[in-house]
Amino acid sequence: MFDRLEAALPLRFSFLIFCGFAALLALFSVVVFRVGWLPLLVFGALVGVGVHDLRQTRHAILRNYPVLGHLRFLFEFIRPEMRQYFIESDTEATPFSRAQRSLVYQRAKGESDNQPFGTHMDVSARGYEWVNHSMAPTKLATHDFRIWIGGAHPVIDVALGSTPAPASACTQPYNASVFNISAMSFGALSANAILALNKGAKMGGFAHDTGEGSISAHHRTHGGDLIWEIGSGYFGCRNDDGSFNAARFTANACDPQVKMIELKLSQGAKPGHGGVLPGPKVTQEIADARGVPVGQDCISPSRHSAFST
Ligand SMILES: Cc1cc2nc3c(=O)[nH]c(=O)nc-3n(C[C@H](O)[C@H](O)[C@H](O)COP(=O)(O)O)c2cc1C
């Protein structure tokens, strides 16, 4: 008897059946007593959803559990927030933990970023790394840690200070900070992002890598040091057919803001494939920076045409 009932009206339909009864009851109340419009609307709508769930063939969970099955989508939708607010610890999560993100927010707002009572980290965990305080501190000539790149340069000993450079053929070596901004093109990043990064480079005295997209007007507004990246598309130093143009290269290379030139041999993220900036993203500004036509797909070939590796 129970089996036959279960076959005709499975238990998993019980919520839909309940909604059906409730809607009928509300309808009766509306017809007889003129009250109960809201329950009629709510339960009527739920019955409508349930019937739609039973008829559709896209989601098995909704056919099996009409109406209730939607909870699964709701929970999936709010899963990241539930994990973040209730489950995740302050020190887990990648690429940045909640504690690291909080530190950035606090510093950006100029609030205190210190918390008393020691670290939250598990310092005895396998692989935990730390820097010990020195028992014999020395005097550092500078805290602005830099590396000379290109030709002979003054020798800087952090403890003893610097000695002058010997004569060299390289007339413009660059004293690069150890902190710089890695390559991200105008095109991959917006104008405001480029402006902000380059202003940061200017303020912090470090270098801003242009990425493959070459030097845009936004890179020049604040005058922060530039590393000009040249990839297989030769953006900023190319002919119309995409081959290398020595005269355009010289013009950009002689720009005093360009401190170093980086030759990108291959697409690290997609080796052997090359890359593409889709046509709709190639605005006038991007086209000007790269030396390519507006609105057409901008291809970085998989290999260089000016030399072989
Ligand atoms: C939006 C974006 C654009 C990038 N564009 C370039 C590029 O044009 N040239 C390049 O050599 N690397 C590019 N990269 C790679 C970064 O320079 C960097 O090597 C990579 O993001 C790994 O560093 P991270 O772990 O600090 O993100 C790009 C990365 C991002 C996120």
Rounded to the nearest whole angstrom, what is the distance from the C-alpha of residue 267 to the centroid of ligand 1? 10
Does any ligand 1 atom lie closer than 6 A to the CB of residue 194? no
Q: What is the ipTM of this complex?
A: 0.96
Q: What is the pLDDT of residue 153?
A: 63
Nearest CA residue ID for atom 26, ligand 1: 182
Q: Which residues contact 76 (CB under 8 A, 6 or more apart)?
A: none
For range 213-225, the mean pLDDT:
96
pLDDT per position as a tens digit, 28-61? 999 999 999 999 999 999 999 999 999 999 999 9
What are the backbone angles phi and psi of residue 235, rounded to the nearest 5°? -65, 130
Q: How many helices (H) and strands (E) does the chain have?
A: 10, 9
Q: What is the pLDDT of residue 159?
A: 61
Q: What is the DSSP letter of 245?
A: -
Does any ligand 1 atom lie closer than 6 A to the CB of residue 264? yes
Q: What is the CA radius of gyration of the chain?
A: 32
**What's 152-196 look like in SS3?**
CCCEEECCCEEECCCCCCCCCCEEEECCCECCCCECCECHHHHHH
Q: What is the DSSP letter of 110?
A: T
In ligand 1, the atom with minimum distance to the C-alpha of 262 is 11
Q: What is the DSSP letter of 238?
A: B
pLDDT band at 122 (very low <50, low <70, confident <90, very high): confident
Residue 189's DSSP bridge partners are 186
Rounded to the nearest whole angstrom, what is the distance from the C-alpha of residue 184 to the centroid of ligand 1? 5
pLDDT per position as a tens digit, 159-210? 656 666 666 667 788 999 999 999 999 988 999 999 999 999 999 999 999 9
Cβ-based burial of 20 (10 A; exposed 0-12, middle 13-18, buried ≥19): middle
Does any ligand 1 atom lie closer than 6 A to the CB of residue 188? yes
pLDDT band at 121 (very low <50, low <70, confident <90, very high): confident
| Best mutation site among 94, 182, 286 for ligand 1 pocket (most ligand atoms within 8 Å of CB) | 182
Q: Where are the domains of the chain?
A: 2-68, 72-108, 143-177, 179-300
* Whether the predicted pLDDT of 158 surpasses 60: no
For range 234-242, the mean pLDDT:
93
User: Which two structure tokens, joined as six digits, stand for 298?
Assistant: 């901008």
Nearest CA residue ID for atom 11, ligand 1: 183
How far apart are alpha carbons 50 and 296 in whole angstroms? Answer: 48
Percent of the chain's residues with pLDDT above 90: 66
